[in-house]
Each structure stands twice: as structure tokens, then as C-alpha cells.
Structure 1
Amino acid sequence: MAKEKSKKSLPYRPCVGICLFHQDGKVFVAERLDTPGAWQFPQGGIDKGEDPYDAAFRELKEEIGTDNADFLAKTDDWLHYDLPDHLIGKVWKGKYRGQKQIWFAFRFKGRDQNIDINTKHPEFSKWQWVELAETVDLIVPFKRDIYVEIVNQFKRFA
């Protein structure tokens, strides 16, 4: 009970997520270095005072080596998820219970050769283009509801 109370007292970490569409309608996913078998879209924290739109482009550049993309849409509102209990206090220096995210859809304008996940601070071991609906089964279970919502809001771009 005490752990649940302390979890609920923690704030959500403000974050952006990027659903990057290829010209053929598939989306970019990458496998996390720290969680083999867990694939996800690029995402990351919003710096203090940073606009979420600018954060999305920064995260693309930091995580996949390119921001060569056009804006398509963003989610209607913040989407939230809670970390599982075993991760509370272990990630983000124990400051957050989960994340609140604004998600952006972008259309990739470059070529596969422009993507480079071997960045200054790599997060991914490999990447691929997949059908949007497949992403729900690739993500870790505690983020699955977010991905269902992303699919629903952005399926028109696939």
C-alpha cells in the first residue's frame, strides 16, 4: 500500500513520441539496447522551456541521426502510462511514475541510408519499417494502450 501511495504521488515525465512514416506507409521502429526484443518508436523527454514540436525534431536527430521529415499531425491530447512497480525508483532517477506524451506523426523524406542509430548516445540495436498495426505487438506491455491510441489517431497516414 505504501508503495502504491508513493507511486501515485510522483508526477509524469513530459515527453514526445514520434511515429515516423515511410513513403510506403510503413513506420519506423527500433529495438532498445537495454531491452532486447522490445521495439518502439523514437521518443524522449521535453527539456525545460522546450516546445514539444521542437523536442520531437531534436529526438529524431538524437536517436536516429536524421530529422529529415515533414510534420503530419499530433495527438489530440497528452497520453499517459505508468511504469510497472518493479521499475519505479529505477528509471529517470526515481522522479517519475511514468510518462505523459504528446505524439507526432511525421513523413520521412530521406532514404534508409540517412538513418543512423549509432548516435552519440545510442538507444537502439537495430531498426526496421513495419506496418503501423504491428507496433502494438512489438511494444512492451505497459506501453501497449498508448500504441493502440497512436494507431487509431494516425492510421490515416499509413
Structure 2
Amino acid sequence: MPNYRPNVAFILSNAAGEILVCERSDWAGCWQFAQGGVKSGEAFIDALYREVEEELCLKRSDYEVLSSRGPYRYLFVNGRKKEGFDGQEQYYFLGRLINPDAKVRFDGESDEFRAARWIRPAAFDLNWVPEMKREVYASVLRDFFGIELGGGVMSDEAAA
């Protein structure tokens, strides 16, 4: 039986109904949601607050958590292990930016991302994430937004 690393992931929305996606620093063209591991003894919500501050430099007062779902699981490829785990078990949180002056920045404790942009949920392209994560992203977008995404490239019109 696989051993899954506990993980939290955050979908941040804005007043326009768009969601934030971030481009990984180590992989150009790979756009994803902020996420990170849960430390031993740490509550999932506390891990979320910590990861959002580390990766996006947002304070708890900048956003509100609306809902959560999970677990969503995926295995690492080619039998790879990370910290002794075979894959990730993620709990996703949906939040809304409530501080209009808050700015997403990448000068915190993490250097995971190099860029961010706001898109409509239906504009998310599953090709932006590694194949091992695509089923999870498709499920998350369906579960939170009722969107059925295929693996194809989104048109420029869908991203507008």
C-alpha cells in the first residue's frame, strides 16, 4: 500500500471570480496552485496558513477560507520517493482575497514560484501540470467549480 505525504493546496479566488495560478521557478510553463507539506503534528488549516504566507506572502487577514475538500491522491513517477513517501495526499482549500490592497509576492521563505496570474477556472490547462497531477487537478476543478476539463490546450478565448 502506498505511503502518502500529507499536503495542503490553496485555490485563491478574487472578486472577479478568477483564480490564482503560479508558475514554478524550477519548471518554466508549469502553472499550479500554492501547495505544501503538512508538518508532523500540524493541523491542516495551520499548514495552509503557513504555506500561503511562505509561498505567496499573504497574511491570514488578506483572504478567507470558504471551503475544503479531499483527500486527493497521486503517486510520484517511476517509483520515486520524496521524504520516504510514494506520493501526495492533498487537501484543497478554496479561498477568496478580501484585502484589495494585498499583493501576491515571491519574496518570502519559499522560492517555489516565479510568476502568478489570475485566470477563469475554465481556462486552466491540464497540460500546465505534470501528468501525475492531471487527474487530481481535473477532479479539483470539477469538484470546486463544476468544470470538466480535458487534457487539451485551452484557446486564447478561454483564457480571456
Same fold (TM over 0.5): yes
CA–CA separation in structure 2 for the residues paired with 1:29 and 1:121: 16
2:141 counterpart residue number: 151
What TM-score do you get using the length of structure 2 for normalisation? 0.82
Aligned sequence identity (%): 29
Quick check: 1:65 aligned with 2:85? no
2:76 counterpart residue number: 83
CA–CA separation in structure 1 for the residues paired with 2:3 and 2:37: 13
1:19 counterpart residue number: 11
Q: Compare relative contact order (CA 8 Å, sep 6+) and give the higher one, 1 or 2.
A: 1
More helix per residue: 1
Given that 2:15 and 2:97 are in contact with CA atoms closer than 8 Å, whether structure 1 keeps it comes out as yes
Shift of 1:139: 1.9
1:26 partner letter: E
Deviations 1:61-81 (A, max 9, x none): 000000311111001x31100
Given that 2:38 and 2:44 are in contact with CA atoms closer than 8 Å, whether structure 1 keeps it comes out as yes
Could you tell me which of 19, 39, 42 is aligned with 1:50?
A: 42
Deviations 1:83-142 (A, max 9, x none): 1117x04xx34x111100110000011347521112233110111001112334222221
Given that 1:135 and 1:147 are in contact with CA atoms closer than 8 Å, whether structure 2 keeps it comes out as no
Q: Which runs of 5+ in 1 are unaligned?
A: 1-7
The 4+ residue runs of structure 1 with deviation greater than 4 A are none
Given that 1:65 and 1:115 are in contact with CA atoms closer than 8 Å, whether structure 2 keeps it comes out as yes
Q: Aligned to 2:124, what secondary structure does the other structure show? A: helix
Report the aligned-residue RMSD. Answer: 1.8
2:157 counterpart residue number: none
1:87-126 equivalences in 2 (<5 Å): 88-89=80-81, 92-93=82-83, 95-111=84-100, 114-126=103-115
Q: Which runs of 5+ in 2 are unaligned?
A: 147-160
Given that 2:58 and 2:102 are in contact with CA atoms closer than 8 Å, whether structure 1 keeps it comes out as no
CA–CA separation in structure 1 for the residues paired with 2:135 and 2:108: 29
